[in-house]
Amino acid sequence: MSRADVTQTDVLTAIATKLRSELNLTDRTCFVSLEPYPIAIPKGGDYFVTVAPGDGVFVEGEQYPGNCTEEWTIIVTAFSRMMLDSTDHDLKVLQETTRGLLILKAKLLEVLVGADPTSGGNTFVRNLIFAQRAERPAAGQDNILAWISLDFGVHFD
């Protein structure tokens, strides 16, 4: 296996594929999205995950014709369907063992931190994937979905 140059589409697809495989998700419950919060909410399931492009920085000394290294961020967001708790507290939406937001955060970190994903049978990251930032858990005003977003660093050519 060799290290290959890839496109941003390849990176997003490889990350979504890895998450589906490791978390036993489908293409309806783990998908690439333009924004962390998707335009359409998938039906069914306890939770779903989006993989969205974030900001990137081009490395000044690593730019040559046909090759440009980018230090890029991907945003992985786990959404949990609410209605787990009574209205006076949020313990279950945070800690329920299969879809609590803090449990999902830990699962995402376990799958992606230190990962060396492949595209077309070749690895492509310059450094292993690393966690950069986590947003605080949040919920929509409609109390249908709660979510947590994590930023991961992916450096590639």
What pLDDT does residue 152 have? Answer: 97
Q: CB under 8 Å to 74, separation ≥6 — which residues?
A: 11, 12, 15, 51, 52, 53, 54, 151, 152, 154
Given a cut of 60, whether residue 85 has pLDDT beyond it is: no
Please compute the mean of the pLDDT values over residues 27-40 and round it to a whole number. Answer: 93
| Rounded Cα distance, 127 and 123, in Å | 11
Which is the CATH superfamily of the domain at 8-156? Phage tail protein-like (3.30.2000.10)
pLDDT tens digits, 37-75: 988 888 878 899 999 999 999 888 877 887 778 888 999
| Rounded Cα distance, 81 and 68, in Å | 40
At 14 the three-state DSSP class reads helix
Residues paired with residue 65 on neighbouring β-strands, in sequence order: none
Dihedral of CA 14/112/154/67: which sign?
A: negative
Q: Angle CA(144)–CA(138)–CA(40) in degrees, nearest 5?
A: 50
Question: Could you tell me what percent of the chain has a pLDDT over 70?
Answer: 94
Pairing state of beta strands 30-32 and 47-64? parallel
Given a cut of 70, whether residue 88 has pLDDT beyond it is: no
User: For the stretch 103-123, what's the b/e string if a residue is b when 16 or more beta carbons lie within 10 angstroms of its beta carbon?
Assistant: bbbebbeebbeebebbbeeeb
